[in-house]
Amino acid sequence: MSVGQEFNVTKPSEYSDFGQPYSGYWEEQDKDPVNRCLPGAFLSPGFQTAQLGMCPDFMSQRCGKEWDNKCDLYVESLDNSNDVRDFLSQTLSKKFCQLAKDSKCTIQCQPFDPIAQKTAQVCTYLGTEPLKDISDNLDVGYYFPVNMSPDYMGKCKQNCNVISPDKIDPKDPVIDKILDIGYRSQVLTEICKLSIDSKTPISNPRLAGYCNQLVNEKEKIIEKFSGKMKATDQAVESFTSPMVKRMIVVLICLLIAAVGYMVARKYMMKK
């Protein structure tokens, strides 16, 4: 279930005539205002500069439902790699994830064009998740105690189980594009985890390869950590062996004898 499907948006006819456009008012543009987000948007009927701020959310929602050549054109029009990464991540999230039932966030929807309520609805998550109980206090003072409530906040909690791993398109364009730029998306990692936990195979070869790589890297880290722990244990064991213990006793005895000799010599010199 996508963001748009999660929230039952009220139809204009159900509340009032406010925002109802007159007959024929950019009707075609209102149904799918994609051209207002593409290069040359200022030539589109009814274009308003303020609508550009709605484009990232609208386009990620639209392209999450179905990727077409308009989505490709929008990606190509983005200014830098960070914008491309953010757009693809958002699209991936809206396609594969939904708000968790125990999330503290809500869903907010608004018309792309505020003066035309029949225009496409753009839905986003609203709110943050508390990562730490705000009733806890943390004394961060040095000279003077200062009590603070660390209300650490995070992104809205999601479950990326909208599409079963074995039902993912083998040539999913969003997955392909985000892997092409080499970005390790949290959404992809969540899908990998879902596949492993549910023992469900992944039908997308590139995503399956990504998941295998994550598993292999984790195993290498565990193996490396285990090797270090083993080496440490061996070092401790060798340090506590009988021979080493005897050598330590001998060194301590020699040290005591040397200190005693120096003290005695100093005492004799004073006499």
The 10s digit of each residue's pLDDT in 166-199 is 999 999 999 999 999 998 888 999 999 999 999 9
- Comparison of pLDDT for 148 and 119, the residue scoring more: 119
Say what the pLDDT of residue 72 is.
95
Say what the pLDDT of residue 142 is.
45
- What percentage of residues in the chain have a pLDDT greater than 70? 62
Phi and psi at 99, nearest 5°, equal: -65, 130
Q: What is the CA radius of gyration of the chain?
A: 32
**92: Cβ contacts below 8 Å, ≥ 6 apart:** 64, 174, 175, 178, 185, 187, 188
Choose among 18, 44, 7, 13: nearest CA to 114.
Answer: 18
Mapped onto helix, strand or coil, the DSSP state of residue 109 is strand
Query: 227-264 pLDDT, tens per residue?
Result: 555 555 555 565 556 776 677 777 887 788 777 767 66
Q: What stretches of 99-204 show up as alpha helix (H) in DSSP? A: 173-180, 186-198
For the chain, the structural domain boundaries read 3-129, 163-240, 241-271
Q: Which amino acid is at 247?
A: M
Instruction: Give the N- to C-terminal CA distance of the chain in Å, as an integer.
Output: 97
Most confident of 27-31, 48-52, 146-150, 196-200: 196-200
- Is the pTM higher than 0.85? The answer reads no
* DSSP at 35: G
Query: 87-107 pLDDT, tens per residue?
Result: 999 999 999 999 988 888 888
Is 175 in contact with 165 (CB distance < 8 Å)? Answer: no
Say what the pLDDT of residue 244 is.
64
Dihedral of CA 150/153/159/165: which sign? negative
